[in-house]
Amino acid sequence: MAQHSNLCSLYLLGSLPPANKLSSLLPSYLRKLTLSMLKLEEDTMPVLGQLQDLSILRLFADSYMGPRMTCVSGGFPKLRILKLWMLEKLKHWTVQDGAMPLLQELEIRRCDQLENSDGLQQLPNLNEVVLTNMPQSFVEKLRGSSGNNVFVKVNNWEFSRYQDI
C-alpha cells in the first residue's frame, strides 16, 4: 500500500501485521484512516502518529485490544478529528505534551473500561468532546479536567428492538 502515491483515505477491516510493521505498509501521506476489527494488541498510536498528513483518525470496534494507549509527543502533527469507538479493553489513555497540537474534535463511544485520559487538558485547539455511552465516572473526570473552552456533549443512547405497530 505504501507505493500508492495518490491514496489519501483508507478503511482497513480485518487483520494486519503487528503495529511495528504498520509504518512500512501505510502510505505516509494518508489524510484519513479508519481501522476496524483488527484486534491489534500492541499500541499503534506511536506508529500512526508518524503519519504526518493524517487529519482524521477513526479507531472503531475492536481495532485495538490493549489496556493502554499513548499518543507520544510530536505525534499526529495535523490530526484534527479523533474517534475512539468500542475499544472494549482500553483502560488508560495518555496524551503526551506536544502530541496532536491541532486536534479540534474528539469522540469517544462505548469504551466501557476507560478509566482515565491523561493530558487532554494540554490540547490547545480541542473545542469539542462527544462522549457516548461512557461510564459516568469517566465523564465526570473528563469534565473536571477539560478547560472552559471545551464543549463536552454526553449522549446516553438506549436501543430497543423494532416492534411492528
- Sheet with 116-118, strands from edge to edge, namely 68-71, 92-95, 116-118
The C-alpha atoms of residue 74 and residue 127 are separated, in whole angstroms, by 20
Residue with cell 469507538: 85
pLDDT of residue 26: 82
Q: What single letter denotes the amino acid at residue 98?
A: G
Q: With a cut of 50, which residues of the chain have pLDDT below it?
A: none
The C-alpha atoms of residue 141 and residue 135 are separated, in whole angstroms, by 10
pLDDT of residue 131: 95
pLDDT of residue 12: 82
What are the CA-CA distances from residue 60 to residues 9, 12, 98, 147, 160 (Å)?
15, 10, 24, 27, 22
The C-alpha atoms of residue 117 and residue 137 are separated, in whole angstroms, by 12
pLDDT of residue 9: 85
Phi, then psi, of 127 in degrees rounded to 5: -125, -10
Task: Give, rounded to a whole angstrom, the gap between the first and last alpha carbons of the chain.
Answer: 49
